[in-house]
Chain A
Amino acid sequence: MTAREMFEQFKQRFGPLIVRADLPSDNRLFVFVDPSSVRYVTQHIFRELDARYVATIGADDRPFSGKFLVSHNFAFDKEHLLCGVLAYLPPDKPQIDSITDMVPAASWGEREMRDLVGIEPVGHRYLKRLVLPDGWPEGSHPLRKDTLWNEVPAEYNPEREFKFDEAPEGCMVVPFGPFHPTLDEPAHFRLFVEGEMVRGCEYRGFMVHRGIEKLAESVMNYNDIPMLAERICGICGCVHNVAYVQSVEEAAALKPPPRAEYIRTIMLELERLHSHLLWVGLACHIVGFDTLFMQSFRIREPIMWMAEKISGNRKTYALCVIGGVRWNITPELKVELRAVLDKLESEWRPVIAAVSRDKNIQKRTCGVGVADAGLVKNIGLIGPVARAAGVDIDCRRDHPYAAYDRVEFNVITEQGADVWSRLLVRAKEVFESIRIIRQCLDKMEDGPLQLEIKDELPIGRMGLSSVEAPRGESHHFVITGENNRPRRWRVRAPTYQNLQGIPAMIKDQQIADMTISLGSIDPCFSCTDRLETVDLRSGSVKVWSQEELLKLTRKKAGR
């Protein structure tokens, strides 16, 4: 079904509610509605048409159209369509009906919108601060155009503390994070524990929020931003690089040359390889099996060397510019890459064979951290977490980009919906990635690496791009702007959605399984916390000190 056909369906269901529609291509649809009908339209799309929720975006469009803009993005995976439901809000008091009660996955998107742009989601039941640090004053919204990018508001109060929820009856509070040996990045899960079982948790995160979106809109230029985007994440940098560039290319209607698309595909799959191998090792380390951790890192090392030979760096490839790529894969590199892939495959097969027969690891991971298909739909979980629950979604096949429409591969699904299934999904995807790279090497055509861009990019166009990161779908939304920089750039990383499923996954499980459940979504907190401000160093970590937490737990436990 193309965008036009889907639009005809929309017109039949709620024709008079649509104010405007943009159909830039066969698989993109932007529908503008009145703010009061957003709830009705999104409910219909999410429930009756069974779309998948992707992101909620708030933007300050006042210098250009005089209004605020809200966009709820959905994906029709089977129809290969990405759709946005947009509404313009009046500038003096921007508010919109919350859709979280029907679409639980939108919970964080709306809280972020409120924190950063100041658009109030009316009817949201859990309006605590999500992104901004505790001391940030109310009424100061960093992503508004009248807030400077390098200024701390005068009323910033470093002493203010975050107000945590009360623990349920009979539960002890076990603080997990922000400093914990398992987590690579700071995040605070406040577990409510009864004996050995976890009864609930509260999450306070966004401690590595860096102001990337504001920087991009204020001082960077189109070709500078890929270097910034790839530093959003410590493992999946190439994904954000490619996704941003693709969304700008889509907005400006540029098509990169075929050789560039193949090279992008190869580098994306190389990144998937090293990320999945790292994850398998990390999961084994969390359950105490250090030997497999060391072995998977040993097997993974040649890929890092190969990436260094192609791009100059092991992880930050600095691959894309608007309209193409910067690095070429010469015939010698092709030969070496094939040899590396052969060796990797021959070493990984016996490891996976040994692990799948290993009862010891299965005992720790079967039945743990269960996220079934219902939770996947409601919270919008993506990536291996969803595929392990039997939900067959993969952006490489559903919304093809780069050269994925020209290669063949299988999408691996399992039925167990627990940590063991996720391990199997990731381990088997390694072989699919190797297959894709081999096909790309065979089919790669000669040609230029970059487009000749002669005219300046048009202003005010929207572009969407969904790229399958190793952790799930990474979704970028760009509105092009003046002065050679985008007007709004929103990054929705996969961990952003998957983290919202954690409280349901660890409920009624043992505390010992908490870390492996958290590890099984392959969390990348740097991807999740991307926004504002340059100067902040302190914040919630220092204020809520260990002594205070201890006093609180002892008081609660009646000691």
Chain B
Amino acid sequence: MKLRLVLIWLLCFASFGTWAALIRVTDTDSLTLALNKAQAGDTLVLATGVYEGSFKVTQSISLKGEIGATLDALRQGSALVIEAPQVSIEGLNIRHWGRDLYYRDAAILLKKGADNVQIKGNRLVGDGFGIYGEQLNSPIITDNSISGNGAIHVLDRGDGIYLKHVNSPQIDRNQLIFVRDGVYLESVTHSRIYENQFTKLQYGIHYMYTQADEAWQNQAIAVDGGYALMNSTHIYLHHNRVTQARDFGILLNITEASHVQANVASQIHNPKGTVELGNEGKGIFIYAAQHNRIQDNEFSHSDTGISMAMGGEENRLWHNRIMANQTQVKYVGEAQLEWSYQGQGNYWSEYQGWDLNGDGLGDIAHRPNDSLDKLFWLYPEAKLLMESPVVLLLRWVERQFKPQVTSGISDSFPLMQRGAHVLIDGGSR
């Protein structure tokens, strides 16, 4: 009995020895050989140089690049295919992987079961996907730079990071540019995405059929859209920024029970958009989305600040700052909606009421649209009358008489101060 225990202990020790193996490779052949022979726990160090072709990782090992170590897939297929759990990839340059999206050409392709992968401090430049993973758990993707090909039509590029049926991914401090979506998540749960930078791409983060996600302190600049929440539930989106987007800052579509807090969406402008076609730039666009909380955000300097379609009524909005948008709010529906919560409304840059009792709230309710706005939305052909004296008179009359409100948005507790415009450290829930 005792002897057997000792034997087991010895075996463990022996395998412990192999875990520690550190293998340095210097060219394509030695890398291929080392990948074939490597045991779980080994570390492969890639010396400075170019390694050509597609490489497969089938054991739980670490790959570390010395400065300038570069994988070059020669424009075919994926550069690195991971087929084992607990793999770590660090400090590599990867370039020239394929551009066939159907075959999932990627710099790093994670196969089913490649759990707990760590991808850290790599520099990826290529046409297809940056990192592509399906059916796996807990990948950590940190501090990488992923650049697509700006010369390809945005829809024919791969996504920077594409994850499908993945649980608990962590994606932080990456820089993504010239890809399709920065991060595309489909049927993902419990993702945590923070401090990433998205530039010149379709959407910063695109949620599709996801649940219980959190994203904070990300930045999107010069994109089509900042953060698209579609068919998803229980997302906590907070302290993110998006500026100079074309279509929207934030999109809430068939998304429920989500919390959108302290984000900034500014300068959302579509030079080719028109309000008639409904494709003007929108700070936040809410449609067919219910039971979401939208608080403390800034929607400013955009074509439309908040655009809500019918079917987006059941949401709670308060403590937002809606400032200097060409159209502050667009809502054409029949319902009468109150945008405030527990006696606190939003800050409106155009609000002209007084606060005589000094409680920080305007004394009369704010209605961002009068009935003439609605008239022009319904009859855009009458637009040429917009600045006519008759219309100005009608607007003035409506303001004087405070007619019975029957539809549209009102805020009974408009804030007099725009409040602290700071990005507080988000942290986790």
Do A and B bind? no
